[in-house]
Structure 1
């Protein structure tokens, strides 16, 4: 299980053969919702009756998770089942940025939403200002299912094989590197409807380091990358060289037509960020993309591959 000593983790991670690697044998077809687009994030009104998700050490956490439903005030659509995160503005911004960009480049991320919470909607929340008439929060549309951490407890080999042979293993590893996300774990990869989904990007854009340092100072930093660690353990060095070349092609192909300025505008982070902060965020995302492949080459034992690509 992740978090174990490295020698024990190596024993648990299945060595992936060429025949089984990245084949998704137990997964279904791509979810239909993943068509790349940069539509503005929808804003919903929270229905009353949301239930707080029980988590360990809840009183010491800086955020709260709630499950409930929301509805559009400008249409007649059905209620949307969703997970709501109550927390700091930085975490909301990280969730919105990663969700919008991730979906735009074809990764399986649930639809991000901004939820309007009225006074009295969540009376037991300790983080909401209960005197405020309205609070904005991040939410993601529910896809149901269990996390891979839950599956690990039931069938460790099956859960790890799902991740290690997943068609999005390499793109997600590169995406976490790009977004400076140190918090990927098997608890925020959800198995639902025969597909794996990526959730919980609150610690992206620098993790806890962003609480005390500027984004500019963190642009070049190598943050923990759990999926890269799994790849390093699960694949031989020669195979990882091929993976890094695939990552380079994927980064080029998936981001070539992506306008990052439009992407950030679609997130709606203007509700939490000043114009200056949005400019700094755009620079961070742009500059981080330029070094993503280099960081992964160093992680996976092939720093020379990045030098070769720069010379091509």
Structure 2
């Protein structure tokens, strides 16, 4: 087997701080989690990312791994033929931190197990290991209406669990999720004790669901603000008008279109966007829509408009 460079797996330098390691792990976990990733080898990459995070976030494991990496760099090792030297882990006691779950090396590589599997099994026989379960992360996509008004939905997640035979297997579970009103993209919903089981009587970890909002046929999301195209007639734009506008939470509101309004003019409805403190706004982009000349009356109206607008040249800015 090959020697694994865990720093390269997470994309961090060897001098990376605990916070940098944590941020790199979260970014890659969101990218390769089997519930959201469409990459063919997402599960394998997720395993490597979990494995690297397991080592680099634990001070004892990281120190031992760094010492071993230095020995490998000095002495060299034939490619594909790495074996940890005898006694390499003397003086280190490996454990998992309070936010981690039990060591289940069936889901990790042979390289990891060759280094830390036996060491943690020895540690487990010396003490009654107690550890809170690991937190899990997943992403859910909700509708804009659910984000604004709140809802209760059932979601289905897939994850690796240890079967009765001790081997990892992909299992599916369904959870009921309460979506609070006022959510916006990037926020998390926490489901207490829905992560990995605890060890030694400690509680399970939590499940964090990253909120994503599905594209909407009418509204576009930018941060906490919503944007909508509002069609108006030429007469409404030229003379001004009161028009009814649908709102994202339901119902309508009366909006004043100012006289001499131009195509693309942006009007704001304060506080009608996504929730927050302060809440976002709803922006309406005017789009002047021409009535079709599909009747004699419509054609005569256009002819009268043309006769009254002979001084108007829409191509003047082109030098025409």
Higher relative CO (CA 8 A, sep ≥ 6), structure 1 or 2? 1
Question: More strand by proportion, 1 or 2?
Answer: 2
The TM-score, its normalising length taken from structure 2, stands at 0.22
Larger radius of gyration: 2
Task: Return the TM-score normalized by structure 1.
Answer: 0.22
